[in-house]
């Protein structure tokens, strides 16, 4: 591969890459919040997308059952508009609409909301690198029939040790995403999300401990107060 041809091909390969980010600010585009709660009784939920940059972006939005799907896998949720131009220094809203397709009514359902940002380019510019960015956030569908307070659901988590494995049981109808988990004041890396009415077994082995403490992420992306179990057996 020679000179200009090699450089041109390399630039093309780099430009084709989409970067996945855990934050909600990228390439000048800012997304409101870190998660979306969709109450069943709502006709729609709006998500604001802000462009403080001095160039326009093409924004595409969709919801899917898995975070790595690049298009709709079903039509449980539709976006309005699904594709639009976001002008420089402006804000627009994507409206998320539940189509009414059946979902469990005894627990929350989890979908993944993807927002792809494609920056505009100036045709007069040469050797310009264009990077498309995709951000993925959780979309929780919350049925009206479920009971309990989602803000305190994390307090009801149950723990047990079995053959060196730590089991976390969530008896509530809500998804609980742990922000921190400590065993005898030692942090467990990558605390899990525990689905409703489900049990999660942590990878690796853990010795039985006397004290367990944890925090969860609330509906607004904040961290809850710490919950503790002392003299745990």
pLDDT tens digits, 139-171: 999 999 999 999 999 999 999 999 889 999 999
The per-residue pLDDT for 232 is: 63
Q: Is 118 exposed, middle or buried (0-12, 13-18, 19+ CB in 10 A)?
A: buried
Q: Is the pLDDT of residue 199 over 80?
A: yes
Of residues 90 and 6, more confidence is placed in 90
What pLDDT band is residue 5 in, cutting at 50, 70 and 90?
very low
CA distances in angstroms from 190 to 112, 153, 163, 203, 213, listed in the order given: 19, 20, 21, 10, 15
The per-residue pLDDT for 79 is: 94
What pLDDT band is residue 36 in, cutting at 50, 70 and 90?
very high
Domains present along the chain, CATH in parentheses: 29-142 (2.60.40.10), 153-229 (2.60.40.10)
Contact in structure between 47 and 94 (CB atoms under 8 Å): yes
Contact in structure between 168 and 157 (CB atoms under 8 Å): yes
The rounded distance, in Å, linking the Cα atoms of 213 and 230 is 8
Rounded to the nearest integer, the mean pLDDT of the chain is 84
Q: Strand, helix or coil at 4?
A: helix
Tokens 């009414």 label which residue?
A: 100
């Amino acid at each position: 591969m020679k000179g200009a041809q090699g450089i041109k091909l390399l630039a093309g390969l780099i430009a084709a890459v989409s970067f996945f980010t855990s934050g909600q600010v990228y390439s000048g585009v800012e997304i409101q919040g870190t998660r979306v709660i969709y109450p069943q009784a709502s006709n729609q939920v709006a998500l604001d997308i802000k462009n403080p940059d001095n160039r326009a972006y093409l924004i595409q939005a969709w919801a899917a059952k898995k975070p790595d799907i690049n298009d709709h896998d079903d039509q449980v949720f539709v976006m309005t508009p699904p594709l639009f131009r976001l002008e420089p220094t402006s804000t627009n809203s994507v409206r998320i609409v539940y189509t009414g397709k059946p979902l469990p009514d005894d627990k929350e359902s989890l979908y993944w909301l993807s927002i792809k940002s494609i920056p505009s380019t100036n045709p007069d510019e040469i050797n310009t690198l264009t990077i498309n960015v995709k951000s993925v956030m959780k979309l929780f569908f919350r049925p009206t029939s479920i009971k309990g307070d989602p803000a305190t659901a994390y307090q009801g988590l149950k723990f047990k040790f079995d053959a060196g494995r730590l089991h976390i049981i969530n008896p509530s109808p809500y998804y609980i995403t742990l922000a921190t988990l400590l065993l005898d004041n030692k942090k467990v890396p990558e605390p899990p999300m525990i689905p409703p009415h489900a049990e999660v077994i942590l990878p690796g082995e853990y010795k039985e401990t006397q004290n367990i403490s944890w925090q969860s992420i609330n509906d607004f992306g904040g961290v809850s107060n710490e919950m503790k179990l002392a003299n745990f057996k």
